[in-house]
Structure 1
Amino acid sequence: MQENPSQAIIEAGRWIQSRHWCPATGGNFSARLNDNEALITESGCQKGELSTRNLLQVDLQGNVLGGTGKPSAETLLHTRLYQLDSAIGAVLHTHSVASTVLSRIETGACLTLSGYEMQKSLAGNTTHEAQIEIAILDNHQDMAFLSDQLAQLWQKTPLQWGFLVRGHGLYSWGRDMQEARRHLEGMEFLFACELEMRRLGTL
């Protein structure tokens, strides 16, 4: 059965809010509608209380085509991801404690994870022995600039599953909302484990 984009976003919002990954109206979620359009959450709404009134239809340049709310500036990062990879069907941006703290502790260009069985939750991974690299972009309030930084990084090496914005949070995606949710949950588990390992001084 083909998923309904509006319902998929609303259900993802309730699920994410229940895990406290989007406090204080933070975060934003989207689903691709077709080759040229996406549906995305409006700015400033509680993600566990979404309805169709909180969803905006936008083109892949971030222009609003339908809906009455205010688009988030971060819409440009969602639409740039859809431009960069036609296989991406849904994008979830969250603000968990683990992803935010790790993105600051790790001062390099990526967070490297290895040795966790849960790595197999990420598409294409079949072993805990692989090294998983999650890119980290420095935060910036100019989303056009940040989306250009993402595109430049992607041209060097296309990203998989997600990336971190330093001191800000995680962007994760998948071919559809179900896969995006699996990647989000898998990475959040990995981040929580990694943060605990560092807290215990074992890394």
Structure 2
Amino acid sequence: MTQADSFQHAVNGLISAGQRIWQQGWCPATSSNFSQRLDDSSCAITVSGRDKGQLSADDIMRVDLDGRSLDGKKPSAETLLHTTLYRRDPGIGAVLHTHSVKATLVSMHADGPVEFKGLELLKAFTGTATHESSLSLPVFDNTQDIAALAKQVDDHMNETGTGHGYLIRGHGLYTWGPDLPTTLRHLEALEFLLDYYWHASRWQPAEAREVDR
């Protein structure tokens, strides 16, 4: 596949992913950004400020893995959060950043990493073969200093491993995978788990409900 063919393949995939994610309500207004690795030194990523449910080919651009534009378009301010992942792990082929209500709620109320254990849907994640496993979703404070945030995320992963995703407080979710279809599967699984976590944290046993009346 030529470089042009590779970029066109990424464009088609990201447009389709944007429509699918928008239909779920996970990328409201012009929020969110999506990317796909092109080669060892560049990736395709959504242009800043575009409606992700109505992407066109002109809304996708190329950047190098330092986040610099390769075609004169303006990348998202959060491009470094994508390229840092591509630099640290050559096995990462796509990154999706979304802004769902549940991801935002959980990020604002979590005191530390969000932990999931013993749930069947954990098997949706690459490398997980049984529900008898766990997944930790770290939560980082939001900041406009994206370079500092990217370093904080990278330093954390150096200590704990790359994992499958993380939350930014009051902001949204990042997840990734070896290719775009797998990353979409990870996104859907994480959204289910975050929904479960939010409802479980609000649940009270019947005895407690009786006392509250």
TM-score (norm 1): 0.94
Q: Gaps spanning 5+ residues in structure 2: where?
A: 206-213
Residues 11/67 of structure 1: CA separation in 2 closer, same or farther (3 Å cut): farther
Instruction: Tell me the C-alpha RMSD between the 2 structures.
Output: 1.6
Q: Which amino acid aligns with 1:171?
A: Y
How far apart are 1:107 and its partner, in Å? 1.1
Kept in 2: contact 1:82–1:88 (CA 8 A): yes
Mapped to 2, the partners of 1:9 and 1:158 lie a distance apart of 27
Partner of 1:98: 102
CA distance in 2, matches of 1:64, 1:196: 41
Partner SS state of residue 138, structure 2? strand
Q: Which structure would you say has the larger Rg?
A: 2
1:77 positional shift: 0.4
2:178 aligned with 1:175: yes
Q: Map 1:3-42; keep pairs closer than 5 Å.
A: 4-42=9-47
- CA displacement, residues 153-191 of structure 1 (integer Å, 9 cap, x when unaligned): 111122221111111111010100011000000110111
Which of residues 127, 130, 147 is equivalent to 2:130? 127
Kindly indicate whether residue 186 of structure 2 is the aligned counterpart of residue 155 of structure 1: no
Unaligned runs of 5+ in 1: none
Q: What is the CA distance between 1:201 and its match in structure 2? A: 3.2
- 1:55 equivalenced with 2:51 (yes/no): no
Distance in 2, Cα, partners of 1:132 & 1:201: 24
Identity of aligned residues (%): 45
Partners of 1:42 and 1:63 in 2: CA distance: 12
TM-score by length of 2: 0.90
SS in 2 for 1:145: helix
The 8 Å contact of residues 114 and 129 in structure 1, kept in 2 or not, is answered as yes
Mapping of residues 67-86 of structure 1, within 5 Å: 67-68=72-73, 70-86=74-90
CA contact (8 A) 1:57 1:65 kept: yes
Instruction: Give structure 1 regions of 4+ aligned residues with deviation exceeding 6 angstroms.
Output: none
Q: How many residue pairs were aligned?
A: 200
**Counterpart amino acid of 2:131?**
H
Name the aligned partner's letter for residue 170 of structure 2.
G
Decide which structure has greater helix share. Answer: 2
Contact 1:53–1:67 (CA under 8 A) maintained in structure 2: no
